[in-house]
Structure 1
Amino acid sequence: MTASPPAPLSARPTASFLPPMWEHQSLFRVSAQLFAEGIFNLLDRNLRPEVFLLGLASGREENDPHSVVIEPPTLRYSPADFAGIKTLAATFEADAGPRDNVYHLHPQDHDRMEKQHWYELVCRATEQTLLELVESRQEARRSFCSTPLSLNGYLVVLVVQLAAGPYNAYYTLPGKATSTRPASLPHAAVLEFLHECTRALREADTADNEQPVLDRDYNEVLRGAGRRLMLRISPGSAHGLYDACLGIAALRHEGGEGQGTMLLARRQHAAIVPVLTLEAPVPLRDHRSIRKLLELTEGRTGLVSDASHVFGLGYMVEEDDEKYEPLATVQFTNHYGWELRHGGHTLMRVVSNTPRLPQSKVQADNFARVAHQVFPDLTTEEISFLWELALEASNQSHGTMLCISTGAKPEAERLRRQCFRVVPRVMTTPVLRQASSIDGAVLIEPNGTCYAIGVILDGQATEKGDSSRGARYNSAVRYTSSSPYPCLAVVVSEDGWIDLLPSALHA
């Protein structure tokens, strides 16, 4: 049985009143929710983040009705659902057995370490409790918790939940994922988000009547997530791999864009067949030398690096070789563009210093779902026809845009000075291939009738724009956000990004 998404907060029953943990808790929760939406919508709008706060009273017994506080109080979970967290944390401590005695020079250091250990157990118990709640209610959500922060007599845990389907659809690194070992870019973004929220709470707690501030740029948070992910896959402990790749991708060699492969592995790795070994390894911080060496890479042969130095050229053995081991690679694709891959899967694409998730061709089922959402009267055959046109548009290597609108005819008239109007005709894939070869959008009705090509779309400025994306994407966002007609824009960017942008009322 397919689980339905969680009900909106306004639709949930109101819980009995409980005193707040601190004065600005509601404001902070709303700020954190908006912060999460800004971050994760840049990755995948289908992740649908939901943020809430959980407070465990430090000096109250678990059967005390005020021992647990939830913000917002109208959340679908009740305080009783989390009443046993501290007991469960104590069980984890008992099951772990005796710990090694660690002696600290100062008593405060010992107390701090013991508190940190207890907080980690509480975090683990909260995650376990949420996992059981989600599974029992078939909510199809993934839950992530921050390490508790002591605030006004409460252990405050910030929880963010993401849609399980979209989250699990992305490739994850093998091995156990932890708070310091992200499994994927979405997971790294979760860790960076929780870290930023905890920092804001901690800084506000040390000031006088200060409200927690979450003002970090969304793209900067994603860059921090990218650095976390790169640190996880680094063969050594080098922290500068992400920034080194940025510096290398920004350089040109004799006017050409940087393209090539870098294999990330420890020196003399058994799965790497050496082709050419440098007598003196080149530091990765020497961007110009590395950029020049990239010209030597071709096909399977790439530069071999331990994330600190480049040792030479080599290639990985075949998968059926007993020495084979999936290794991380950096594929430099164009100027300012590169990808992080592992075992043949793309973990992250970086365009103009901004990490993004890999974007594949438009999927038929996803297109059909969005198209039916925007144009509910379309038949299956009509949606299939539009899908064929969208698929043809996605094959344009230079980027293009297909705009499907119920108001295509009046819009072609309104925008007549910034488009080429055509005699109405049903669009076909061969004609679309030619019509989309010039700048601007191809404007068609849901039945496939074309009214204009080369359309320069207009629209009002909106917060949904993304400064890291190009003019084509942002003009489509402005147009679909302010269009009075139901419409759907299929945007194909030059860097390979493909977006489905429904009109504002259907987003």
Structure 2
Amino acid sequence: MWDYQSLFRVSAQLLAEGVFNLLDRNLRPEVFLLGLAAAREGDEPGAVRLEPTTHRYAPENFSQVKARAAALEPDTTREVVYHLHTDDQDRFEKMRWYGLVRRATEHELQTLSLAEGRVSFCSQPVLMNGSLVLVVLQLAAGTFHSYYALNEDATSESRPPSLLMAVVREVLQECSKALRGTDAEEGRPLLDRDYNELLRSSGRRFMHGPAGGNHGLYDACNGVAALRHEGIEGHGTMLLARRNHPAVVPVLTLETPVPLRDHRSVRKLLEMSEGRTALISDATHVFGLGHLVEPTDAAYEPLFTVHFTHHHNWELSHAGHVMMRVVSATPRLPQGRIDELYFTETIRRMWPAMSDATVQLHWELALKATTQPSGTILIISEGAGYEAQRLSRQCFRVAPRFMTPSVLRLVTNIDGAVFIDPYGTCFAIGAILDGLASERGDASRGSRYNSALRYIETSRFPSLAVVVSEDGWIDLLPSVKK
């Protein structure tokens, strides 16, 4: 299709991995390119191209995409728009056709990827050297659907039903922008956007839904969460609802609503929220205090709720489901228990000879670690005994003993990491980890995550860290074989 298509596909794959791995490594993103001849009439067999050419799908799988797109036209509501300039009318018709091609491609992909346990999405086509190039993104279906999402019938392209869907659209849009800017970069499309910045943009996009299409809610919540009132961190709740919503019982109404952009005033008012009683906002102003009626009430309707949990931290919920957590202005998915399959695959990859009983023990220990509300670190290391001796001045060494979930619950009540070996023997508790700075460090994450990452990347021994952050994030950090 063009000279640097392989380079672009690899760049898009790295972008997808970098972004989605920050959300959930079990999503396992895969990117490939699909090229269709630009002419609208029927294509000869060689008019469909894939990158990589060795992809498991064949060009024949997409030979009917444009015929299907043409068949969609009568079913599409035509918007009566007349453009005075001929070029504007042509552009309008072209973009409409591109939208039909994208829909038809996603329909074909849905059939192909269903049996593979994948979900597929594709970008808007971009014309490249006579081919309509679409970027296809696939994710693990089980993991994707495990996260709560709104009813897609009630959403639009500008209002994604979940944070995950907002990130998907942001990644694909970034790829399309890079393809359209190819000429300016001497034929080499660039994908160098910062992962966390892309996630922040996705968070803003997602918040358009709870905000009823208004802009600025995401940044307003960040601004409020960043403030302290008389030296105290912000804790409180804000209900998002239109004024006089029947599902909201008013408790106190402000005579003059406070603009949500007035972060300091909103932060002060937040002190009044307690229990069920919350600030009421229409995403532009705060106009009082109130609470949601009981679910048994005929007027009940699930509403969006913003919970300010810690300094710089807040989360968005709908109908009791946490949809997005924001840590230091960067959104993350609500993390629950770690996935057993992913944990087993990781530990088997590191220690292939480990018995099933020992793998099960480590899984039970990892689960127990995730219940620690103040966070903790569990280090599984072949050199646990040596490391306990090396770090003797910054840990509590213990007489080697077989670790059980009940004992782990006790020893994780103090700060620091717990060292056990692959056989389940504990050698140290309360360890302060060391290590060199890592390029994979994440300033939006806490010191617990970054210290575990530094230790794992510089450890002399094969090691696996289960990191439970105080804000609820759970990470598995396997060491890289040297």
TM class, shorter-length:
over 0.9
1:456 matched to 2:456? The reply is: no
Once the 2 structures are TM-superposed, how far is the Cα of residue 460 of structure 1 from its aligned partner? Answer: 5.4
Aligned to 2:255: 279
1:186 matched to 2:182? The reply is: no
Once the 2 structures are TM-superposed, how far is the Cα of residue 315 of structure 1 from its aligned partner? Answer: 0.9
1:105 matched to 2:81? The reply is: no
1:427 matched to 2:399? The reply is: no
Matches within 5 A, 1:367-378: 367=343, 370-378=346-354
Once the 2 structures are TM-superposed, how far is the Cα of residue 95 of structure 1 from its aligned partner? Answer: 3.2
* Match for residue 111 of structure 2 among 125, 132, 150: 132
Unpaired runs of at least 5, structure 1: 1-20
Once the 2 structures are TM-superposed, how far is the Cα of residue 292 of structure 1 from its aligned partner? Answer: 0.7
% identical aligned pairs: 61
Once the 2 structures are TM-superposed, how far is the Cα of residue 111 of structure 1 from its aligned partner? Answer: 1.0
The separation in 2 between residues aligned to 1:213 and 1:459, in whole angstroms, is 33
Asked if the contact 1:55/1:68 (under 8 Å) is kept, the reply is: yes
Structure 1 368/57 Cα, relative in aligned 2: closer, same or farther at 3 Å? closer
Asked if the contact 1:326/1:342 (under 8 Å) is kept, the reply is: yes
SS in 2 for 1:147: coil
Asked if the contact 1:488/1:501 (under 8 Å) is kept, the reply is: yes
Aligned to 1:355: 331
Aligned to 1:204: 182
The separation in 2 between residues aligned to 1:432 and 1:41, in whole angstroms, is 28
The separation in 2 between residues aligned to 1:100 and 1:401, in whole angstroms, is 57
Once the 2 structures are TM-superposed, how far is the Cα of residue 392 of structure 1 from its aligned partner? Answer: 3.6
The separation in 1 between residues aligned to 2:469 and 2:40, in whole angstroms, is 56
* Match for residue 289 of structure 1 among 265, 283, 302: 265
Letter in 2 for 1:478: R
* Match for residue 231 of structure 1 among 189, 208, 217: 208
* Match for residue 51 of structure 1 among 9, 31, 55: 31
* Match for residue 413 of structure 1 among 379, 386, 389: 389
Letter in 2 for 1:445: D
The separation in 1 between residues aligned to 2:5 and 2:89, in whole angstroms, is 31
Once the 2 structures are TM-superposed, how far is the Cα of residue 374 of structure 1 from its aligned partner? Answer: 4.1
Once the 2 structures are TM-superposed, how far is the Cα of residue 482 of structure 1 from its aligned partner? Answer: 4.7
Once the 2 structures are TM-superposed, how far is the Cα of residue 100 of structure 1 from its aligned partner? Answer: 4.5
Aligned to 1:80: 60
The separation in 2 between residues aligned to 1:304 and 1:54, in whole angstroms, is 47
Letter in 2 for 1:82: F
Once the 2 structures are TM-superposed, how far is the Cα of residue 338 of structure 1 from its aligned partner? Answer: 0.2
Aligned to 2:20: 40
Q: C-alpha deviations, 1:204-257, integer Å up to 9, x for none?
A: 23x26242111111000000110111001213x320000000000000111111
Q: C-alpha deviations, 1:342-369, integer Å up to 9, x for none?
A: 0100100001011000012446666555
Q: C-alpha deviations, 1:282-301, integer Å up to 9, x for none?
A: 10001111111111111111
Aligned to 1:440: 416
Letter in 1 for 2:34: L
* Match for residue 94 of structure 2 among 115, 131, 136: 115
Asked if the contact 2:37/2:131 (under 8 Å) is kept, the reply is: yes
Aligned to 1:324: 300
Asked if the contact 1:482/1:504 (under 8 Å) is kept, the reply is: no
The separation in 1 between residues aligned to 2:142 and 2:405, in whole angstroms, is 32
Letter in 2 for 1:130: L
Asked if the contact 2:4/2:187 (under 8 Å) is kept, the reply is: no
SS in 1 for 2:127: strand
Once the 2 structures are TM-superposed, how far is the Cα of residue 455 of structure 1 from its aligned partner? Answer: 2.4
Letter in 1 for 2:319: G
Matches within 5 A, 1:384-399: 384-399=360-375
Once the 2 structures are TM-superposed, how far is the Cα of residue 454 of structure 1 from its aligned partner? Answer: 2.7
The separation in 2 between residues aligned to 1:455 and 1:505, in whole angstroms, is 23
Once the 2 structures are TM-superposed, how far is the Cα of residue 322 of structure 1 from its aligned partner? Answer: 1.4
Asked if the contact 2:208/2:215 (under 8 Å) is kept, the reply is: yes
Asked if the contact 1:253/1:292 (under 8 Å) is kept, the reply is: yes
Q: C-alpha deviations, 1:16-43, integer Å up to 9, x for none?
A: xxxxx11211111111110111000000
Shifted more, 402-411 versus 302-311: the winner is: 402-411
Aligned to 1:162: 139
Asked if the contact 1:248/1:287 (under 8 Å) is kept, the reply is: yes
Asked if the contact 2:37/2:43 (under 8 Å) is kept, the reply is: no
The separation in 1 between residues aligned to 2:343 and 2:308, in whole angstroms, is 30
Letter in 2 for 1:181: R
Q: Over aligned residues, Cα RMSD in angstroms?
A: 2.3
Structure 1 167/122 Cα, relative in aligned 2: closer, same or farther at 3 Å? same
